[in-house]
Amino acid sequence: MYAQMIKSEASTEDPKQLKEFQAKIDDNIKVEPRDWMPEGYRKTLIRQIGQHAHSEIVGQLPEGNWITRAPTLERKMILLAKVQDEAGHGLYLYAAAETLGVSRDDLTEQLLSGKMKYSSIFNYPTLNWADIGAVGWLVDGAAIMNQVPLQRTSYGPYSRAMIRICKEESFHQRQGYDIMMKMAQGTETQKKMAQDALNRLWYPSLMMFGPSDAESVHSTQNMAWKIKMNTNDELRQKFVDQTVPQAQYLGLTIPDENLTWNEEKGGYDYSDPDWSEFFDVLKGNGPCNVDRLEARNKAWDDGAWVRDGLMAHAEKKRAAKTAAE
Amino acid sequence: MADVDKKMLTQFLLRMGDNTLILGHRVSEWCGHAPVLEEDIALANTALDLIGQTQFWLGYAAEIMGDSKTADDVAFLRDVWDFRNLLLLELPNGDFGQTLMRQFLFDSYQSILLPRLMKSSDQHIAEIAEKSSKEVAYHVERSAETVVGLGDGTEESHARMQAALDRLWPYVGEMFSSDEVDAAMAAAGIAPDPATLREEYDALIGKVLAEATLSIPDSDFTHKGGRNGATHTEHLGHLLTQMQWLQRAYPGATW
Ligand SMILES: [Fe+2]
Ligand SMILES: [Fe+2]
């Protein structure tokens, strides 16, 4: 999931208005930018959509890490197209956030200063070519688990962005799985790469759903507002159940000795990830946090003259046009 | 197809394909590091187009080379001296201004060359040129627009774009330095002698650079050695160590 542990904001508005708003959501009527909405709803959505957008942007980095080393021309093209899609997702999501009254530049500043977060998963490195397969298969796979239900979210622009994004994400997942397949059926070394990628990315992928939030007040509020559609544990279970047979098909081993089919619940029992590691990553201590933020800050700072230059030119053109009229 | 020495034709195809491959690689280095999100998308798109064109050019080259070679073999298993790209395209990216200036200088060349190649006596070449020409028309429109915007932007952006032009100008002439390969292609009606494109090229870039308030350096000195492979820059070897690493480290693997 590209948005984790989104805290909800309390609402202090008139109870009658709040009640009407909730009734509208319960009736599955979409909230549109011009409609009245509680301040808490608006702020929580900005946080969630913003974090999601930042994840798409920072997510370019671990995958971009392999573009210049992609092993064939076709793989290079597929990866370029994927990373380009992710940047496009960032663009739609920032546009959706802007309808809530926050600018893209504002959100960007908050990402760069570390005030806003992006998904913990992108603080893990991509170390061998199979990681590019595993990211598509597991990371895009986990994102889809969350985003498919979000197509029905209550906020219109967010829901529409999710519909566009989901189509591309499932494409990414299939392409990632296809890389894993080639690796798993390849030479001994390729198999080793595939297993190594799965070993390193399995638990970080489970962390993407966030810690159990079944009892969290934030989760309850966000679910009532339909900006969160399922609990973290529900989605994680679904993800495990979907992924285990796929790993088996590849002939790879999920790095979890406790993984067993539980007939009674109709799903797998699995080990929790190390949540202390997760909180360390959120605090900035993941293997790549510093690299990622440095790269984004450098891109932004080095690009300042470009943005200023293009803006100044547009301004000159506008002035010339006005003068001519 | 006209009767032409296969070795010469291969050289021509490598020149075309290595240009798009090496530039595509350089442009792709920007992925995730561009000044603004729209540029991240545009640069990835440009790189994608260039690598797509590479598959056509090097695919055809591989076909002529025989031995059931593929475009991937040609891209990933040759050494520096076998590459036939322009020196301009293997230079490191520099800042965003230098990257876009190079893109513009090359896009302009391609935008003049490809319509000629669409009339090639070699049907396959004509088809590749046709397929690439829409992309190239879009690339030159975009890079020219950016060069104008930054050249005629702020004082700083102007200075940076002028510095980029000054830095790259000595590499422009190589595009037009013809040799016996070009003579053979021209004689067979496969491709024009590049020297004959210079006038149109100068007119095109002259117009855009004037609008960008940039001055073309007053020197016709030209570095050479890329398109004939005689003397590449030191940079190409480093680029290949990255690009070819997996193929070289794990020969025979299927990816
Ligand atoms: Fe995405
Ligand atoms: Fe994706």
Domains of chain B and CATH, by start = 6-214+226-249 (1.20.1260.10)
Residues of A in contact with B144 (CB under 8 A): none
Burial of A202: CB neighbours in 10 Å, binned 0-12, 13-18, 19+: buried
Question: How far apart are the C-alpha atoms of B206 and A325, rounded to whole Å?
Answer: 28
Distance from CA of B153 to the nearest CA of A (A): 4
Residues of B in contact with A184 (CB under 8 A): none
pLDDT at B12: 98
- Please check the confidence at residue B214 and state whether its pLDDT lies above 70: yes
- Is there a contact between A312 and B32 if contact means CB atoms under 8 Å apart? no
Cα angle A135, A160, A142; round to 5: 20
**Contact between A120 and A207 (Cβ < 8 Å):** yes
Summarised one tens digit per residue, pLDDT across range B79-128 is: 999 999 999 999 999 999 999 999 999 999 999 999 999 999 999 999 99
Mutation for testing the A interface, residue in B36, B53, B98, B162 having most A CBs under 10 Å = B36
pLDDT at A1: 67
A188–chain B Cβ distance below 8 A for any pair: no
A305–chain B Cβ distance below 8 A for any pair: yes
Instruction: Give all strands (DSSP E) within chain A, no chain letters.
Output: 260-262, 267-269
Nearest to B100 by CA among B170, B19, B42: B42
- Please check the confidence at residue B2 and state whether its pLDDT lies above 70: no
**Band of the pLDDT at A309, cuts 50, 70, 90?**
very high
**Residues 272..301 of A with a Cβ closer than 8 Å to B: which?**
295, 298-300
What average pLDDT does range A262-272 have in this prediction? 97
What average pLDDT does range A318-323 have in this prediction? 92
> Which member of A69, A182, A298 has the closest CB to residue B245?
A69
Question: How far apart are the C-alpha atoms of B28 and B44, rounded to whole Å?
Answer: 6
- Is there a contact between A68 and B25 if contact means CB atoms under 8 Å apart? yes
Nearest to A38 by CA among A18, A24, A20, A23: A18
- Is there a contact between B31 and A83 if contact means CB atoms under 8 Å apart? yes
Mutation for testing the A interface, residue in B21, B37, B214 having most A CBs under 10 Å = B37
Torsion of CA A203, A205, A209, A214, to 10 degrees: -30
Q: What is the largest CA-CA distance in chain B?
A: 56
Q: Output the CA A175–ligand 1 centroid distance in Å.
A: 13
- Please check the confidence at residue A198 and state whether its pLDDT lies above 80: yes
Residues of A in contact with B238 (CB under 8 A): none
Question: How far apart are the C-alpha atoms of A247 and A267, rounded to whole Å?
Answer: 15
What is the phi-psi region of residue A210: left when phi exceeds 0, alpha when psi lies from -120 to 50, beta otherwise?
Answer: left
Task: Calculate helix-pair angle for A188-207, A232-250, nearest 10 degrees.
Answer: 170
Mutation for testing the A interface, residue in B48, B54, B57, B90 having most A CBs under 10 Å = B48
**Contact between B8 and B61 (Cβ < 8 Å):** no
Nearest to A89 by CA among A25, A156, A2: A2
Summarised one tens digit per residue, pLDDT across range A32-89 is: 999 999 999 999 999 999 999 999 999 999 999 999 999 999 999 999 999 999 999 9
- Is there a contact between A306 and B32 if contact means CB atoms under 8 Å apart? no
Distance from CA of A314 to the nearest CA of B (A): 7
Question: How far apart are the C-alpha atoms of A27 and A20, rounded to whole Å?
Answer: 11
What average pLDDT does range A270-288 have in this prediction? 96
Extract long-range pairs of A275-281: CB within 8 Å, 24+ residues apart: A275/A207, A275/A211, A277/A203, A277/A207, A278/A120, A278/A207, A278/A211, A281/A120, A281/A123, A281/A207
Residue type, A214: A
B249–chain A Cβ distance below 8 A for any pair: no
- Is there a contact between B150 and A309 if contact means CB atoms under 8 Å apart? yes
Distances (CA, A) of A196 to A121, A273, A290: 16, 17, 24
Nearest to B19 by CA among B53, B43, B67: B53
Helix, strand, or coil (residue A314) = helix
pLDDT at B123: 97
Question: How far apart are the C-alpha atoms of B86 and A202, rounded to whole Å?
Answer: 44
pLDDT at A3: 84
Residues with CB under 5 A from ligand 1 (ion): A 56, 86, 89
> Which member of B41, B72, B254 has the closest CB to residue A87?
B41
B211–chain A Cβ distance below 8 A for any pair: no
Sign of the alpha-carbon torsion through B138, B136, B202, B189: negative
Summarised one tens digit per residue, pLDDT across range B185-210 is: 999 999 999 999 999 999 999 999 99
Size of interface A-B (CB pairs under 8 A): 149
What average pLDDT does range A239-245 have in this prediction? 98
Mutation for testing the A interface, residue in B26, B72, B157, B239 having most A CBs under 10 Å = B157
Distance from CA of B9 to the nearest CA of A (A): 22
Residue type, A117: K
- Please check the confidence at residue B240 and state whether its pLDDT lies above 60: yes
pLDDT at B4: 86
Give chain A's radius of gyration (CA, Å): 21
Nearest to B76 by CA among A176, A130, A68, A84: A68
Q: Percentage of chain A with pLDDT > 90? A: 91
**Residues 63..82 of B with a Cβ closer than 8 Å to A: which?**
71-72, 75-76
Nearest to A137 by CA among A179, A108, A86, A177: A177
Cβ neighbors of A222 (< 8 A, separation 6 or more) are A6, A8, A44, A48, A228
The token duo for B88 is 């301009």
Summarised one tens digit per residue, pLDDT across range A141-174 is: 999 999 999 999 999 999 999 999 999 999 999 9
Residues of A in contact with B95 (CB under 8 A): 302
| pTM score over 0.90 | yes
Q: Percentage of chain A with pLDDT > 70? A: 100
Q: Output the CA B234–ligand 2 centroid distance in Å.
A: 36
Residues of B in contact with A91 (CB under 8 A): 37-38, 41
> Which member of B25, B58, B255 has the closest CB to residue A182?
B255
Q: List, as one string, the DSSP characters of B18-30.
A: HHHHHHHHHHHTT
Burial of A210: CB neighbours in 10 Å, binned 0-12, 13-18, 19+: buried
Q: Whose structure tokens read 């998963």?
A: A121
- Please check the confidence at residue B1 and state whether its pLDDT lies above 70: no
Nearest to A107 by CA among A46, A160, A60: A46
Q: What is the mean pLDDT of chain A?
A: 95
B127–chain A Cβ distance below 8 A for any pair: no
Q: What is the largest CA-CA distance in chain A?
A: 77
Q: Whose structure tokens read 């993800």?
A: A239
B93–chain A Cβ distance below 8 A for any pair: no
A267-269 and A260-262 beta bridge pairing: antiparallel
Residues of B in contact with A72 (CB under 8 A): 72, 76, 247, 255
Q: List, as one string, the DSSP characters of A88-147.
A: HHHHHHHHHHHTTT--HHHHHHHHHTTSS---GGGGS---SHHHHHHIIIIIIHHHHHHH
Helix, strand, or coil (residue A225) = coil
Burial of B174: CB neighbours in 10 Å, binned 0-12, 13-18, 19+: buried
